Amino acid sequence: MPATTATKCIEFLKAEKLVQRINKLIGKAGITGEETNRILLFVIASSYKMPDTLHALIQGSSGSGKTRLLKIISYLMPDEDVKRYTRVTDNSFYNQDEYFFVNKLICFEDLDGLKEDAQLAVRELQSNDILRTSTSLKDKNGQITGGERIVRG
């Protein structure tokens, strides 16, 4: 990052009324109204790099703007740090690389659409930051052995 950009960022963060200024910028990004919800969701989303992340569930009636709110807030984060899902299969999270979810913002458009095994994986990542699976693995000689897969979040 160029020194001038870093200086501008630090000045922005040190100036008064940071939360109000961020909230105004979120409004300019496309979320009109919803001032409390948008800043709350932004703070929660921003916690993805913290040791103890925050989690949110957006609820509302059909067509009330839940998906738009989630989409715009997630687009305010660095794209390489965001995982957006419309659907998750039962065991897909268990089969990811070990550090696939570490320091990532994970967004689901419809949590109700997740099957029970997928919901369990999400809850485990939220509460324990790790998925541990005892499974069959092939060794380098092609032999099937028991093994453990770990995915961290």
Percent of all residues in the chain with a pLDDT value above 70, rounded to a whole number = 100
Hey, what are 105's tokens?
Answer: 């913002």
DSSP, collapsed to helix, strand or coil, labels residue 48 as helix
The residues, ordered by sequence, that sit 6+ positions from 29 with a Cβ below 8 Å of its Cβ are 72, 75, 76
- Indicate the pairing of strand 144-152 with strand 130-138: antiparallel
pTM score: 0.86
Residue 39: CB atoms within 10 A of its CB come to 19
Instruction: Check whether 4 has a pLDDT greater than 90.
Output: yes
Instruction: Look at residue 20 in the predicted model and tell me its pLDDT.
Output: 95
With cut-offs at 50, 70 and 90, classify the pLDDT of residue 138. confident
Instruction: Look at residue 110 in the predicted model and tell me its pLDDT.
Output: 87
Residues 50-66: tens digit of each pLDDT: 999 999 999 988 888 89
Single-letter residue type at 101? F
